[in-house]
Amino acid sequence: MWIKKLTDINIKIRTMNIDDYDGVMLLWKNIKGFRIRSVDDDFEHIEKFLKRNEGLSVVAIKDNHIVGSILSGHDGRQATFYHVCVDEKYRGLNIAQKMVDEAIKRLKFEGISKVTLVAFKKNYSGNLFWKNQNWKLNTEINSYELILNARNISDTVA
């Protein structure tokens, strides 16, 4: 199978800003199996996240449309990636890898030395991607959560 290089298809990786919200939300809503939280992913909370983690989140742009995203933030010790995705029409073009590389470069500049993320078990393509990138599946921990805001429900995109 022949795959164009990223430079051949004119994809730009740049800092995500709040003006990207509508385009990013459209991307998220079109990703099969993607989970959007009613509170955490609304405009106000994404704006807070971007301000708190200024310059760390990235988007991939093709023809003035957002085709990929990573929300990236840290607590001073370790970082977390959220909502890492690429539009299905643009997968296989190394876009996710370019976004991950850029986000990691920015975190290293901040002095962060560890990144974590959540990949839902049924997200087969996502789990395969991370495994192929040599990310370690952490089988030594259990993940727990406590819902502090019952309105913050997760909506899985079909």
Question: If you average pLDDT over residues 34-55, what whole number do you get?
Answer: 92
Q: What is the pLDDT of residue 64?
A: 93
In the predicted structure, residue 4 carries a pLDDT above the cut 80? no
Region of 77 on the Ramachandran plot (φ > 0 left; ψ -120 to 50 alpha; else beta): alpha
Q: What is the pLDDT of residue 7?
A: 47
Structure tokens at 121: 């078990």
In the predicted structure, residue 1 carries a pLDDT above the cut 60? no
In the predicted structure, residue 6 carries a pLDDT above the cut 70? no
